[in-house]
Amino acid sequence: MYVSDIDSQPITLPDLRRCKRDGVKIVCVTAYEASLAARVDEAGIDLVLVGDSLGMVVQGHASTLPVTMDAMVYHTTCVARGLRRAFLVADLPFMAYRDVPTAMVNATRLVAEGGAAMVKLEGAGWVCEVIEALSKREIPVCAHLGLTPQSVHRLGGYRVQGREQADADRLRADARAVQDAGAQLLVLECVPTALAATIARELEIPVIGIGAGGGCDGQILVLHDLLGITPGKRPRFAKDFLAGRGSVVAALAEYARAVRGGEYPAAEHSY
């Protein structure tokens, strides 16, 4: 049984924690508008993220950095209208959580105006202060470590993180730090499979992977990658689940089945 089997009620954080406890994989996608969000719900997906990746996927920018709070609120509102059951998370975009007061205002917008149940932000270190402040004020937080797209200039591009031992040790410490600060979910992006699996075992909160191997507690893909409609070179972890299937819902259902069955991600989708 997976979380979507339980009943027709909205999925909650306790449901997601129960999945980790019971070893049931959590199925997540990134989406940006109401019609496709409804199809995601129909296919039984557990969690939907309105990602600032919309800057690249929807708006055509070269990075996520130009995305504004107004854009995030708008797209979160659209997705919320299409959902009935999936747990909704929304990104705080670049510089929208640069300090606690700014983060408080912007996170409140995503929850109160946009309809999100949780906000996501990137990094550790000083970000832990923001995570703690939001969590104490009943705004659930999803942390994001590994390849953090808002740090693309510092990282020198979209590169796998944690290959060297010192970097791996830092990621493990950062993962514990964001959990201790109050994060209730963690996304790991482009992290070696063994390291991601270690972090997932060490943490009490669910760990969702994207390009982080099958040892995480769940998986997330950008919907456009999952449907094979992203232009240009696709990331290694992407897989076209629409190929050979007759509908978007069928593609999403196959993705969910593959994640829950441990078939995706395979070795060719991992680092």
Residue at token pair 């990602």: 51
Residue spans of the domains in the chain: they are: 3-269
240: amino acid identity, one letter: D
- Closest C-alpha among 171, 270, 166 to residue 219: 270
What CATH architecture does domain 3-269 belong to?
Answer: Alpha-Beta Barrel (3.20)
Please give the Cα distance from 42 to 215 (Å, whole number).
26
Per-residue confidence (pLDDT) for residue 113, from 0 to 100: 97
Mean pLDDT of 250-260: 97
Stated pTM of the model: 0.95
Give me 36's structure tokens: 């496709």
Which pLDDT band, with edges at 50, 70 and 90, does 93 fall under? Answer: very high
Mean pLDDT of 40-66: 96
Q: Does residue 49 have a pLDDT over 90? A: yes
Q: Does residue 114 have a pLDDT over 90? A: yes
Q: Does residue 4 have a pLDDT over 70? A: no
Q: Could you tell me whether strands 218-222 and 118-122 are parallel, antiparallel, or unpaired per DSSP bridges? A: unpaired
Question: Residues 134-151: pLDDT tens digits?
Answer: 999 999 999 999 999 999
Q: Do the beta carbons of residue 189 and residue 212 sit within 8 Å? A: yes
Q: Residues 189, 202, 254, 263: which is the catalytic one?
A: 189
Known active-site residue 189: yes
Mean pLDDT of 219-234: 91
Q: What is the mean pLDDT of the chain?
A: 94
Mean pLDDT of 241-265: 95
The HSE-up count of residue 268 (CA atoms within 13 Å, CB side) is 3
Per-residue confidence (pLDDT) for residue 216, from 0 to 100: 98
- Closest C-alpha among 179, 127, 184, 177 to residue 150: 127
Which pLDDT band, with edges at 50, 70 and 90, does 157 fall under? Answer: confident
Question: Residues 10-19: pLDDT tens digits?
Answer: 999 999 999 9
Per-residue confidence (pLDDT) for residue 5, from 0 to 100: 45
Kind plus residue range of the DSSP H or E element containing 135: helix 127-136
Please give the Cα distance from 209 to 22 (Å, whole number).
18
Kind plus residue range of the DSSP H or E element containing 194: helix 193-202
Q: Does residue 218 have a pLDDT over 60? A: yes
User: What are the two backbone dihedrals, phi and then psi, of residue 121, each rounded to the nearest 5 degrees?
Assistant: -140, 160
What lies within 8 Å, CB to CB, of 25 at 6+ separation is 2, 19, 217, 218, 219, 259, 260, 262
Mean pLDDT of 168-180: 98
